Amino acid sequence: MNRVPLEKKVLSENDRIAADLRERFRGNKVLCLNLISSPGSGKTTLLEKTLDALPHSERVAVLTGDIQTENDAARLKRFGFPVKQITTGGTCHLDARMIERHLAGWKLDEIDLLFFENVGNLVCPSSYDLGEAAKIVLLSVTEGEDKPLKYPSIFFKSELLVITKTDLLPYVPFDIGKAEENARRVHPNMGILRLSCTKGDGMQDWLQWLERRKSGSATRAESLA
Ligand SMILES: Nc1nc2c(ncn2[C@@H]2O[C@H](COP(=O)(O)OP(=O)(O)O)[C@@H](O)[C@H]2O)c(=O)[nH]1
Ligand SMILES: [Mg+2]
């Protein structure tokens, strides 16, 4: 059985739509960030804390993906910003077509910052360009410091690593220095933030990173996808 040609065709079709999306984001000056992690690493929680911290004048929107349920969209809608759920019905990643379809009805010139919360998975989302300016990978301290070595593709393609749930460090044998060293073995120039959404530690660093990324977005529009 030879599965390569079909996979290539699907990916090249995805790349074509993603390139169109990237042009639209660039033309409308939308900074688009694609959040990727294992299920439960804290993507939705980070987005909740981010939306809660941003002023209501901020023009931010979220597309959140899951295999089933509208739970995450319900959590995120509470903050008053535009949010849509993408339910993939079994697919383990978001693709550019899903993004294109769910953007319908939103005016991109009224959005400055657009988050995608990808389906929880460290493998499949790394192959699918969504037209984002940057991928951001989250790794919680309960997942083990070897994950950048086991899943190098997503760590290589992500501009930023956010190590989440640092409040749990006293209770788990997670060597955070080693995790960062492993990430930099895969991606030497990777940005790394340490964060606890529960305690708030590192939240200011994250918000500052967002601000800096927004002001530099005109020149940093390419992802490594
Ligand atoms: N202790 C701790 N738990 C967290 C933190 N962030 C998220 N969680 C918990 O981790 C679980 C999964 O979080 P969620 O945001 O739904 O993860 P997602 O699947 O990546 O979107 C939830 O029970 C959260 O309350 C954190 O900073 N510290
Ligand atoms: Mg989630």
pLDDT by residue for the chain (225 residues), tens digit each? 666 677 777 779 999 999 999 999 999 999 999 999 999 999 999 999 999 999 999 999 999 999 999 999 999 999 999 999 999 999 999 999 999 999 999 999 999 999 999 999 999 999 999 999 999 999 999 999 999 999 999 999 999 999 999 999 999 999 999 999 999 999 999 999 999 999 999 999 999 999 999 998 434 433 343
- Ligand 1 atom nearest residue 48's Cα: 15
Which residues have a Cβ under 8 Å from the Cβ of 27 and sit 6 or more positions away? 108
Question: Three-state DSSP class for 60?
Answer: strand
Instruction: For residue 38, give the ligand 1 atom closest to its CA.
Output: 20
pLDDT at 2 (0 to 100): 65
Q: Is there a contact between 59 and 158 (Cβ–Cβ < 8 Å)? A: no
Nearest alpha carbon, ligand 1 atom 12: 40
Pairwise CA distance, residues 142 & 196, whole Å: 13
Specify whether the CB–CB gap between 28 and 108 falls below 8 A: yes
- 3-state secondary structure (DSSP) of residue 22: helix
Q: Is the dihedral of CA 201, 206, 211, 215 positive or negative?
A: positive
Query: Which residues are placed with Cβ below 5 angstroms of ligand 2, an ion?
Result: 43-44, 72
Q: How many CB atoms lie within 10 A of CB 208?
A: 11
